[in-house]
Amino acid sequence: MLVRNLDFLSIPKEFSKVEIDIYEKQSIALVYIENKGYSLVLKNDNDVQSVFLLKTDILPHNVNEHSDREDFINVIKMLLDRIYSVEDIKEYEKQHQEHVFLRLMDMLNEGTDVELISEETSKIYTDIEKGFMKLEIDIMDNKINALNSSISNVSSNLDSTVKNIEDNAWGNKIKRTLDQNNWG
């Protein structure tokens, strides 16, 4: 009998979402999924343009000195670059990615303009939920593939080592010599 506990796939029933306007009708929303990570959502006039999942243990109240901080900020930069690429925007009108990151995290931490979203109240909830489940499965698949590769390498190395040991054994050397010279 095979048994699998799928608790790791369970997602909270509500997510905390904050959103800031970036340029004209474009905005970035940050959705916090407790014990899983975040989702960054690029929106244009309330239409979802892009959704990124970030599996990390950064907490809204503890963003400094975390190893994932720079990667998180780089995803925000990518979204900002996408917003700013369509028009010729003066540099002083552009928001800096680290500023956007800190503002979003402060909003979550302070409870400012936080919207609780659920399956019943938001379509993006379902997309994020399915995305995180798929991400967890992909992570497991990658670990299984890496394990299988390691097992294959060890098996190959073991076969090679056994062959080398047999070839180096004195008796096998004599046998090989006899076989090569057709004396046997």
- pLDDT exceeding 70 applies to what percent of the chain? 81
Q: Residue 129 belongs to what H/E stretch?
A: helix 123-168
The mean pLDDT of 116-136, rounded to a whole number, is: 80
Q: Residue 29 belongs to what H/E stretch?
A: strand 26-33
What CA–CA distance (Å, rounded) separates 92 from 90? 6
**Averaged pLDDT of the chain:** 81
Given a contact cutoff of 8 angstroms between Cβ atoms, the answer to whether 128 and 31 are in contact is yes
Model pLDDT for residues 71-121, shown as the tens digit of each residue: 999 999 999 999 888 778 888 888 899 999 999 999 999 988 898 888 888
pLDDT value at position 28? Answer: 94
The mean pLDDT of 152-171, rounded to a whole number, is: 68
pLDDT value at position 141? Answer: 81
pLDDT value at position 173? Answer: 65
- Sequence-separated (6 or more) residues with CB below 8 Å from residue 116: 14, 15, 16, 17
Q: Residue 115's beta-bridge partner residues?
A: 17
Token digits for 69?
A: 């901080």
Lowest mean pLDDT among 7-16, 43-52, 117-126, 166-175: 166-175
pLDDT value at position 5? Answer: 59
Buried-state track 139-177, b at ≥16 Cβ within 10 A, e below 16: eeeeeeeeeeeeeeeeeeeeeeeeeeeeeeeeeeeeeee
Model pLDDT for residues 31-42, shown as the tens digit of each residue: 998 888 899 999
| Amino acid residing at 98 | E
pLDDT at 178 over 60: yes
